[in-house]
Amino acid sequence: MPDTFNGSYDETNSAELDFAVLFDDPMLSGLIDQAMVDNQELKILAQDIDIANNEAYAWTGSYLPFLNLRAGAGIDKPGRYTRSGAVEDQLQIAPGKGFPEPLPNFLLAADISWEIDIWRKLRNSRDAASLRYLATEEGRNYITTRLIAEIAENYYELLALDKRLETLDITIGLQERSLEVAKANKEAARGTELAVQRFQAEVRKNQSEKLIIQQRLIETENRINFLAGRYPQSVERKQVDFFELNMHTINIGVPSQMLNNRADIRQAERELQAAGLEIQVARARFYPSLVLNAGVGYSAFNPRYLFITPESLVYNAVGELVAPVINRRAIKADYLNANARQMQAVYKYQRTVLNAFTEVVNRINKVENYGKSVEIKKQQLRALEESVDVATKLFQNARAEYVDVLLAQRDLQDAKVVLIETKQQQLAAIVNTYQALGGGGVIPTYDYGRVTITDEQYVPPMLEEDASPAVDGVVPPMLKEEE
C-alpha cells in the first residue's frame, strides 16, 4: 500500500471522529441513533453474529472428553440349538438354579469417549470458527458505517429538495409578476397575447415541477424512516442556508490507518486467518487419530442384584489409533480445496484493501473539486440574478422583449438547480469519504462470554512455509505418496 494518499500526509484522521461531531446536527444524529436501535438489517446481522458465536461455542467442547449416561432394560431368549442357548442350558446362576427364560437385563452405566487432539485438528477448527465469528461481527460493523452514510446522504438530499422548493417558489413569484406586466402591456397595446401565454406556460411548468419535488420529498423522508425502523412520518430537519452548509473538515490520515479503521478490511483479515487454520485442519486428517473409549456401570438380570459389587460391576476400556492408508482421495481433495479457499481469501483481502484505498482517493478528490465548483457556480448565480433583474426592468419599460426575460429567468432557475445538486454532491462526498476512512464504525467488544478466543488474545499462524502448495508451490509428502 502507498505511504500516502496522492502524496499528502496528514497526522490526524477523521475516522476517529464521532459522527455527531462530524455532522454537527442534533436532528441528524438523533435519526442515526434511532437507526442503531431499530434498523431491521442490523437486527438480522445481530442474529448472524449469534449463530456464528454458537458455532464457535460448539467447537470449544470438541477436543474435550464426552461423557454419556446410559440406563436400559431388555429381555433375551436365545434358541436352544444356538451357541448362546446351549451354553445357558449347561450353566447355572446358583446351585440348582438355571438361567431365567427369557433372560432380563438391566443396565446403568457411564460411557466416556475422547479423541486426543494430537495434531491440533480440533483446536484449529475451534479457532477458525472463532475467527469467522469475529469476521461476522466486523461485517455488521461495516454495514453500520454504510447505514450512517446512507441516512446522512438522504438527510442532505432532503435539505437540497427543501432548497429546490424554495427556489421554485421564488421563480414562480418572479414569473407571475412578469405575467402581470405582460397582461398590462397587452391591455396598453404595447404587447401581444403571445407574451402572456409564454409567461403563463412557464408558471405552470414550475408549478408542476414543484409537485414532483414534493413527491421526491415524501419518498426521501420515507427512505429515512425505513432505515430508522419506523413507519412513514415527517422528518424534522435543521433550518439552515443550504448553500452555506458546511461540515467538519475531513482529514484523511495515512493509508495504513484504514487497516485498523475499516471494518470490511478487518473482516477480510479474519476470513484469511480462518482459511489458514482450515488448511491445518485438512492436513491433520492425513495423520493418525487416537480415540479413547471407556465405560463403567452395573448390569444384572434382576434389579435387586443391580448394585451388588463386584458381581454386577461391568467396565471396558479401549484405545484406537486410526490412520488413512489407501484411497485418501477425499482427504486430498479437502486439503486442496482448503488451499484454494485460502488463496481466494488472500485475493479478497487484497481486493478489499485496494478498493478501500481507491474509494478514499476518489471521494477526497470529489470533496475538493465539488467544493471549488460550488464557489464558481455561486459567482455564476450572482451574475444571472443581476441579469434577471436588469431584463425585468427593461421589459417593464418596454425596452426589452419578453423572450429576454424568459431566457434570463430560465437560465437563473437552471443555474440554481445545478448549484443545489452540486452542493448536495459535495456534502454526500464528505459523508462517503468519512465512511471510506472507516468512520462511524463500532469498535467490537466480543463480549458474548462463550467464545474462548478473542481478537486481541490470538493471532493464528498464516501462510507458513509448508502451509499451502498454492502459496509456495511445494506439494506435501503425503500428497506425493497419494499421487
Q: With contact defined as beta carbons under 8 Å apart, do 363 and 436 qualify?
A: yes
Residue type, 171: T
Between CA 163 and CA 374 the distance in angstroms is 15
Axis crossing angle, helix 26-38 with helix 40-59, rounded to the nearest 10: 50
Q: Report yes or no on 375 lying in a domain.
A: yes
pLDDT tens digit string along 49-87? 999 999 999 998 888 999 999 999 999 888 888 888 888
* Residues 360 and 464 reside in one and the same domain: yes
With a pLDDT cut of 90, the percent of the chain lying above it is 56
Domain final residue pick, 272, 301, 322: 322
Between CA 411 and CA 147 the distance in angstroms is 37
The mean pLDDT value for 251-277 works out to 91
- The angle subtended at Cα 60 by Cα 128 and Cα 113, nearest 5°, is 120
Is 450's pLDDT higher than 50?
no
| Residue span of the structural domain in which 296 resides | 66-116+289-322
* Residues 361 and 447 reside in one and the same domain: yes
Between CA 167 and CA 413 the distance in angstroms is 8
Is residue 84 classed as helix, strand or coil in its secondary structure? Answer: helix
Instruction: Count the neighbouring beta carbons within 10 Å of the beta carbon of residue 14.
Output: 22
CATH number for the domain harbouring residue 308: 2.20.200.10
pLDDT number for residue 371: 92
Between CA 145 and CA 154 the distance in angstroms is 14
Q: Report yes or no on 83 lying in a domain.
A: yes
Give the chain's domain count.
2
DSSP 173-233: HHHHHHHHHHHHHHHTTSS-HHHHHHHHHHHHHHHHHHHHHHHHHHHHHHHHHHHTT--S-
* Residues 27 and 149 reside in one and the same domain: yes
CATH number for the domain harbouring residue 185: 1.20.1600.10
* Residues 28 and 141 reside in one and the same domain: yes
Domain final residue pick, 272, 299, 322: 322
Is residue 29 classed as helix, strand or coil in its secondary structure? Answer: helix
* Residues 79 and 182 reside in one and the same domain: no
Spatial CA neighbour of 35 closest among 440, 444, 445: 440
Q: Report yes or no on 279 lying in a domain.
A: yes
Q: Report yes or no on 8 lying in a domain.
A: no
Q: Report yes or no on 197 lying in a domain.
A: yes
Q: Report yes or no on 9 lying in a domain.
A: no
pLDDT number for residue 8: 67
Taking CA atoms, 297 is separated from 74, 108, 112, in Å, by 16, 5, 12
DSSP 306-374: TT-TTTTEEEEEEEEEE---S--HHHHHHHHHHHHHHHHHHHHHHHHHHHHHHHHHHHHHHHHHHHHHH
All 3 cell numbers of residue 59? 467447537
Kindly calculate the radius of gyration of the chain based on its CA atoms and give it in whole angstroms. 38
* Residues 341 and 272 reside in one and the same domain: yes
Spatial CA neighbour of 354 closest among 443, 435, 258, 276: 258
All 3 cell numbers of residue 159? 435539505
Q: With contact defined as beta carbons under 8 Å apart, do 191 and 401 qualify?
A: no
Q: Report yes or no on 5 lying in a domain.
A: no
The mean pLDDT value for 175-197 works out to 83
Q: With contact defined as beta carbons under 8 Å apart, do 41 and 295 qualify?
A: no
* Residues 340 and 415 reside in one and the same domain: yes
Spatial CA neighbour of 408 closest among 385, 379, 380, 378: 385
Is 1's pLDDT higher than 90?
no
* Residues 314 and 446 reside in one and the same domain: no
Q: With contact defined as beta carbons under 8 Å apart, do 320 and 473 qualify?
A: no
Q: Report yes or no on 390 lying in a domain.
A: yes
* Residues 283 and 252 reside in one and the same domain: yes
* Residues 186 and 237 reside in one and the same domain: yes
Is 462's pLDDT higher than 60?
no
Axis crossing angle, helix 121-187 with helix 329-396, rounded to the nearest 10: 20
Axis crossing angle, helix 121-187 with helix 40-59, rounded to the nearest 10: 170
pLDDT tens digit string along 135-177? 999 999 999 999 999 999 999 999 999 999 999 999 899 888 8
Q: With contact defined as beta carbons under 8 Å apart, do 217 and 4 qualify?
A: no
In terms of pTM, does the model score above 0.85?
Answer: no
Q: With contact defined as beta carbons under 8 Å apart, do 288 and 323 qualify?
A: yes
- Which H or E run contains 97? strand 97-98
pLDDT number for residue 482: 41
Q: Which long-range contacts (CB under 8 A, 24 or more apart) does 465-471 make?
A: 467/276, 467/279, 467/280, 467/342, 468/279, 468/339, 468/342, 468/343, 469/336, 469/339, 470/339, 470/340, 470/342, 470/343, 471/339, 471/342, 471/343
pLDDT number for residue 83: 86
* Residues 399 and 387 reside in one and the same domain: yes
Q: With contact defined as beta carbons under 8 Å apart, do 66 and 112 qualify?
A: yes
pLDDT tens digit string along 194-253? 888 888 998 999 999 999 999 999 999 999 999 999 999 999 998 888 888 888 888 888
* Residues 406 and 448 reside in one and the same domain: yes
The backbone torsions φ and ψ at residue 401, rounded to the nearest 5 degrees and listed phi first, read -80, 155
